[in-house]
Every structure is written in structure tokens, then in C-alpha cells.
């Protein structure tokens, strides 16, 4: 069943479990710390300028956003984490929402974790990776902002990301630039292989 990723629409924002979508369609959940470029990666994949909101104020988005792709599957935009200035209550709300989402069994068919290609993944990235692993769903890791990296740094940085997230050779790491488009076809190919 070919899926047209150019056909995407925003469906709803969920702030509590009653709003989570459970209609049998597959769900691909995107996670990443605030400002890593998650919205930009989503927009790049869907060929849209601002479907997911780039530059949305960090930490103010304790909501799960659902985008329906080609009426066949959901791209689920999980709220960003790790923004230092977030209040404790906001952070608690984030934690509760994630717990609820991950505990609602069988919601996630594929996890996509977005990290910064320039840096060692943070402790929060490792925690998010563990959320996906505990859920038991397959997971892809995207190393975004590739364009900000020198070519000579690439191999070392990718190895550091694999090591920090404890990825084995079978797990997929895709170097990506939401800005330039690098990695788009590779990532779409992997996503389609999981979903079609
Ligand atoms: P989010 O908070 O994770 O959704 O991040 P955004 O998509 O809002 O992006 C945060 C900032 O990083 C914005 O200024 C983007 O333009 C910038 N950005 C996102 N992806 C890339 C990329 O691949 N390369 C570069 N150079 N900048 C990027």
C-alpha cells in the first residue's frame, strides 16, 4: 500500500489520554529535545513549510500533535523535552503525558528519535530512547543539523551517538539536514519499509 507523504493534514492536539487517537491506523512517533529541529524534520519529510510549527516557543508545547498522512497513518509529534527554562509543573506535565502515551499499549508502531548531529546525545535523549525500547516498538534515530558539521567530524559523531544511545548494528541511524534536505529519501525509505 504506497503512502503519499505529500498528502498530510493536522488532525488534533492531545493533552490527555482520552484524546489519544486509537483508530487502528499505524502511528509513527517523533521525539526530540526542544530546538533539535523536530518540526523542521517533519516539515521536510512532508514537503511543507510550516505544518509543524518551527520555532514554537520551547517548553510551551505539552501536547501531542497528530498529523494524518494520506489517510493511512499518523505522524505523531511528541512534545519536545530538555529545555532548561521550563517550570517544574510544565516538566511534570510533560512526564505524565509521556507516561500515559507510552503506557497506552500498542499505540506506537515506529519511534523516530531526533538528536543533534553535532553533540553527544543528552541524558534526556537516552531516557527517551529507553521509553521507545521499553515500549518494544522498532526505532530509528535521526542525526539532524548535519549541515552544521564538518565532513571530517561526521564519522566520529555518528559513532558517539550510537555508543551513547547503546545502538546495535541492526538499529538505523540516519544523518539528516532539515535545512538542506540531506537524508530525506533515506529516512522516508526506512519509514515506508516499516509502514507499507
Ligand atoms: P523543534 O523545537 O525541535 O521543533 O525545532 P525547530 O524545527 O523549531 O528548529 C529549531 C531551530 O533549528 C530553527 O531555528 C530551525 O531553523 C533550526 N534548524 C532545524 N533543523 C536544522 C538543520 O538541519 N540545520 C540547521 N542549520 N538548522 C536547523
**Position 119 pLDDT exceeds 70:** yes
Asked if 138 and 110 count as a contact pair (C-beta separation under 8 A), the reply is: yes
Per-residue pLDDT tens digits for 60-80: 568 999 999 999 999 999 999
Q: What spacing in Å lies between the alpha carbon of 35 and ligand 1's midpoint?
A: 6
| Per-residue pLDDT band at 137 (split at 50, 70, 90) | very high
| pLDDT above 90 coverage of the chain, percent | 82
- Among candidate residues 7, 17, 155, 19, the one with its CA nearest the CA of residue 67: 7
* Global pTM value: 0.96
The per-residue pLDDT for 85 is 80
CA of 105 to the centre of ligand 1 (A): 31
The Å distance, Cα 7 to ligand 1 centre, comes to: 22
Confidence of residue 55 (pLDDT cuts 50, 70, 90): low
**pLDDT above 60 for 59:** no
How far is 146 from 133, CA to CA, in rounded Å? Answer: 25
Ligand 1 neighbourhood includes 178 CB (under 6 angstroms): yes
**Which residues, 6 or more positions from 61, have their beta carbon under 8 angstroms from its beta carbon?**
79, 80
Amino acid at each position: 500500500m504506497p503512502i503519499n507523504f505529500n498528502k498530510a493534514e493536522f488532525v488534533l492536539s492531545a493533552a490527555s489520554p482520552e484524546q489519544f487517537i486509537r483508530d487502528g491506523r499505524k502511528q509513527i512517533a517523533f521525539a526530540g529535545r526542544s530546538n533539535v529541529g523536530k518540526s523542521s524534520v517533519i516539515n521536510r519529510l512532508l514537503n511543507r513549510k510550516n505544518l509543524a510549527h518551527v520555532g514554537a516557543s520551547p517548553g510551551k508545547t505539552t501536547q501531542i500533535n497528530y498529523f494524518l498522512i494520506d489517510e493511512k497513518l499518523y505522524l505523531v509529534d511528541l512534545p519536545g523535552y530538555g529545555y532548561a527554562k521550563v517550570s517544574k509543573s510544565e516538566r511534570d506535565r510533560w512526564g505524565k503525558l509521556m507516561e500515559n502515551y507510552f503506557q497506552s499499549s500498542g499505540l506506537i508502531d515506529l519511534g523516530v528519535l531526533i538528536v543533534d548531529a553535532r553533540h553527544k546525545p543528552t541524558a534526556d535523549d537516552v531516557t527517551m530512547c529507553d521509553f521507545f525500547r521499553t515500549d518494544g516498538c522498532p526505532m530509528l534515530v535521526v542525526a539532524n543539523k548535519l549541515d552544521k558539521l564538518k565532513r571530517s567530524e561526521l564519522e566520529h559523531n555518528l559513532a558517539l551517538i550510537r555508543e551513547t544511545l547503546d545502538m546495535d548494528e541492526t538499529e538505523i541511524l540516519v544523518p539528516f539536514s532539515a535545512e538542506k534536505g540531506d537524508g530525506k529519501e533515506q529516512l522516508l525509505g526506512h519509514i515506508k519499509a516499516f509502514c507499507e
